[in-house]
Every structure is written in structure tokens, then in C-alpha cells.
Amino acid sequence: MVKVRLGTSREHVAELARLRDPVGAIEELIWNSVDADAAHVAVTLERNDLGGVDRVRLQDDGSGMSAEHCEEYFRPIGASWKKRAQGSPVKKRALHGKNGRGRVRAFALGPRVRWTSVSDALGGRQQLVIEADRRSMDEFDIGDPEPTDDPTGTLFEAFGGDEQLDLLADERARSSLTTAFATYLEKYPDVRIEYDGQNLDPAAEQIHVRDYVLPSPSDWNGEPARLKIVEWRRPVTRALFLCDGQGMSRAHLKPGIQAPAFEFTAHLTWAGFDDVDAEELAFTDWASNGPHAEVLAAAREQLKVHFRARVDERRREQVAQWRREGIYPYTGQPADALERTERETFDAVATTVFRHLPKSTGTRRTTFAFLRSVLAHEPSDVLRIAEELFSLSKQEREQLNRLLDRTPCPRGPLRQARTRPDKPWTVTVRNGLVAHQGKRNPPR
């Protein structure tokens, strides 16, 4: 047996391990598996009698870790063999991890960890066991290789799990992994990642995907950067992934835009990120100028343009649905420019407040008729009435303000209306709407 001591302090290893992030640890271990040419990776969550997760297993069918290279793989911190490689060992896939930290992330899954790896060596197929303990995170025990007839691959196990392992059973963990591996699974469709009994299937979770070519920064002669925006069916953690020229994620940032009601991630792919350290990329937001800052600014501007267009598209789709249901208060084409402006303002308000309306078709039809009347008689009061009557959230108020800013409706009166006393007509409208809703939902 060989005891390998990492080339850094135990305190630094503890910092890199990020013990409170088990989902991130699973992601790193999966990346290690696919970088070793695995076609199938299976993550198993073993539960106790109370349903909590107390053990994690990850099995892959990759090429495994050989005894002659194992010490080389485990000892360095911040320097991985992947930096020198042109691709994965056999299939020459693009490599993800290049910072040599994935193995220490394993400690977030339990105080004791073990890898059992089978690989093809010069003397025949061999099995190797590597073990480590959280109490001495800077040390790994590498056992002596033993002959075996088992198929190649690596089994990772974590024992004595902590309470935070229950985060792995949350649906948000699956969503996080689905978004993290979306572009990789698209690039390599032969790879299958199974998590807690079900395959990750990004394509089934995506509702809208759009690709854009971005303008190149100054003094850049290579391929232009590309931005892929993915909208998801389920809640996801929004992120702008910074990817190298092969589309492999190197770091991620906050998108830096407002897009209420959209669940999305974005992938910014550019060869200019190839030779930049992942930690440096994570601080790209701090760069005030230079090619990286220019590309990032172009990506965020394209995100804004994209979601402005998507808001308009969704609004048109919603209005078409209302027409089919017979609740839209307008028919035919606008009679003049004034009615066109009124309709645009109505659409902006109605799409914002719609989720607050009862499901009754009659109530929705009546509510829309009242809103139309407000716009026809006192258009400057519509924003205030919408805020008060429907108890809009701060995010919805901001969204409605942005939508109204984009309509031809004058904004001065709208803002002044917030401080003006109620006009008799708008009071009548509001009281009528409240009374109508009360009839639909009488007190018990």
C-alpha cells in the first residue's frame, strides 16, 4: 500500500472540498467518470429506514485508474493530467476537469470515501482500491493492485453520510445535474447518466432553445463566440456557463439580467476561454475591459434582446389562447392608432395579472372587460389599480413597469396616478370587480 499526501495543506484541502455542497460533489465525480470514457454512469442514493440518504454510490464503465498512474492522478492539487491531454484516453472526448480537485470534493458525500477501480494494465486487468478519511483529507491510501476478471470501470462509495446528503434526494439536485450536463449529453449522445434510478434527459426538460453568434471582441481573429439559451420546464438555478471552444463548461456566472417567469440557463462558448484558469474565469465579472469583458457584455446584451422577444412572443400566444376561449375583450382589428395603443397596454397588464385570476371563465371575462373599461376611461390609473387590486409582487410590478415602458402609452400620467386620489369612475370599477369576485367565492 502507498500513502499519498497531497501537495497542499490540510486546511486548503478542506476549503476545496466544499463540504456543504454534495450536489456539486456528485457533478465533479460524474465529470471524472465521463472523462475516463464511461458510457454509463449510475449514481445510487441509499436510504435509511426514515427515508434519509446515508450512503452514496457512483458506478461507471470507464477505463478505470491504473496503478502506474494512480499516484500521479491523486497527488497534485491544481494540476491535472487533463491539462496535458488532447482528449479522453480512448474515445478522445473533450475533457472537462483540468484543475485536479474533483477527488477532494468527494468528502462532501461522507467522512469515509473509497474508489474501487478496474483497469487494463501491461500485466493484465487489475483492481485497485483507494481510500481516504475526512479526518486526514490530505492523505489517500492506494492499495496494491490485484488481478481480476471484472470489467473495467470505477465504483465510488461514501460512508457515514451527513444530514446534507438529503439535498441529493431533492428534485432540485436532479435539475442542477440536468442543466450541468445538458450540452455534454447533446454532444455525446452515447453517454447515459443515471441518477437515483432515472436517466438524466435534458432534451425532455427543455421547452425552448436558441443559438446566437456574438460579435467578436477587438483584436480577436478566431471563431466568434456563440451563445445558447435554454429554457426549462422545471425550476432551475439560473446560470451563464462559460465554455471553452469545445463547449466544455469551465466556470459559471450569474446571468446578470431580469427575466421574470422564465427558467433558463445560457452557455457562452468561445475559444478565448481555452487557456484561462477556471478560478480566473469565475471572476470575469470583475474585468472592466479586455476581450473577456467584451464577450461577456455581448452575451448579456443578447440575453436581454432574447427575453424581450420571448416576452412578446408569449404575450401573443396568450392573447391567441384568450381569443379561442372567448374572454378577450376586443374583436377584429384596431379601429385606429389610439385603440392599438389601448390594446397593447391591455395585453401588457392582462398577461401580468392573469395568474391572480380565478379559473372561472366567466370571472376572467368580466375582469378583462373591467380592465378594458379602465383603459378606455382612465388609462393613467391602470397601473395603480392593477397593483392594488391584484396584490402584485415586487417582481411583477417591475415586469409590468418594463412592459408599459415599451408600449406607446404615455408614462407621465401613469406615475402621477400613484399619488392622486381615486376618481369616482375607477372606484366604481374596482368595487364592481371586487363584488363580482365575492359572488364567485362567497365567505363561509
**236, 129: one domain:** no
Residue type at position 313:
E
Question: What pLDDT shows up at residue 100?
Answer: 62
**Average pLDDT for 20-42:** 95
168 pLDDT band (50/70/90 cuts)? very high
More confident residue, 420 or 259: 259
Same domain flag for 71 and 192: yes
- Can you tell me whether residue 38 is helix, strand or coil? coil
Largest separation between any pair of C-alpha atoms in the chain: 93
Q: Are residues 115 and 63 in the same domain?
A: yes
Asked if 189 contacts 212 with a C-beta cutoff of 8 angstroms, the reply is: no
Per-residue model confidence (pLDDT) at position 394: 81
Element (H, E) at 210: strand 206-213
- Of the three residues 150, 175, 200, the one that is the final residue of a domain is 200
Residue 190 covered by a domain: yes
Instruction: Using the predicted structure, report yes or no on whether residue 429 has a pLDDT greater than 70.
Output: no
What percent of the chain clears pLDDT 90, i.e. is strictly above it?
Answer: 54
Whether residue 292 is found in the same domain as residue 209: yes
pLDDT range class, residue 418, cuts 50, 70, 90: very low
Provide the pLDDT for residue 419.
38
Query: Residue 226 above 60 pLDDT?
Result: yes
- What is the rounded average pLDDT for all residues in the chain? 86
Residue 144, C-alpha cell as written in the block: 496494491
* Domain end call among 146, 165, 200: 200
In a domain, 135, yes or no: yes
Tell whether 374 and 246 lie within a shared domain.
no
Q: Into how many domains does the chain fold?
A: 3
Instruction: Verify that 219 and 368 share a domain, yes or no.
Output: no
Confidence at residue 242, expressed as pLDDT on a 0 to 100 scale = 95
69 and 153 inside one domain: yes
Q: Strand, coil or helix: what is 132? A: strand
Q: Taking a C-beta distance cutoff of 8 angstroms, is the pair 242, 178 a contact?
A: no
Q: Whose CA is closest to 45, among 21, 18, 65, 22?
A: 22
pLDDT at 177: 97
pLDDT at position 415 over 80: no
Q: What is the pLDDT of residue 201?
A: 97
Same domain, 217 and 348: no
CATH number at residue 109: 3.30.565.10
Distance, in Å, from the CA atom of 171 to the CA atom of 337, rounded to the nearest integer, reads 49
Which strand (E) or helix (H) includes residue 213?
strand 206-213
First to last CA, the chain: 75
Establish if 263 belongs to a structural domain: yes
pLDDT value of residue 44: 98
Task: Tell me if 16 is assigned to some domain.
Answer: yes
Q: Is residue 321, in this structure, part of any structural domain at all?
A: no
pLDDT higher than threshold 70 for residue 444: no
Whether residue 50 is contained in a domain is answered as yes
pLDDT at 40: 98
Residues 6+ apart with CB under 8 A from 400: 348, 349, 352, 383, 386, 392
Q: Do residues 63 and 159 both lie within one domain?
A: yes
What's the confidence (pLDDT) of residue 73? Answer: 76
129 versus 432: the higher-pLDDT residue is 129
> Can you give the pLDDT at residue 421?
41
For residue 76, the model assigns a pLDDT of 64
Instruction: Tell which wins on pLDDT, 241 or 387.
Output: 241
- For residues 40 and 144, membership in a common domain is answered with yes
414 pLDDT band (50/70/90 cuts)? very low
Indicate whether 99 pLDDT > 50. Answer: yes
* Residue 241 belongs to a domain: yes
Same domain, 196 and 211: no
Letter for the amino acid at 85? A
Residue 98: the pLDDT is 60
Nearest to 192 by CA among 23, 87, 38, 59: 38
Q: Where are the beta strands (DSSP E) in 226-383?
A: 226-232, 240-243, 249-253, 264-269
Per-residue DSSP letter, 62: S
Residue 218: C-alpha distances to residues 224, 253, 267, 277 (Å):
11, 22, 21, 21
Rounded Cα distance, 144 and 335, in Å: 85
Same domain, 169 and 264: no
Q: Provide the pLDDT confidence category of residue 412 given band limits of 50, 70 and 90.
A: very low
- With vertex at residue 293, the alpha carbon angle to CA 289 and CA 299, rounded to the nearest 5 degrees, is 145
Average confidence (pLDDT) over 368-379: 84
DSSP string, 345-356: HHHHHHHHHGGG
286, 314, 342 — which closes off a domain?
A: 314
C-alpha cell at 119: 483497469
440 has pLDDT over 50: no
pLDDT of residue 428: 54
Q: Is residue 339 part of a domain?
A: yes
Q: Are the C-beta atoms of residues 250 and 94 closer than 8 Å to each other?
A: no
Q: Please give the C-alpha separations between residue 371 and each of 342, 351, 394, in angstroms, as whole numbers.
A: 11, 12, 21
pLDDT at site 389: 77
User: What is the domain extent for residue 302?
Assistant: 204-314
More confident residue, 122 or 313: 313
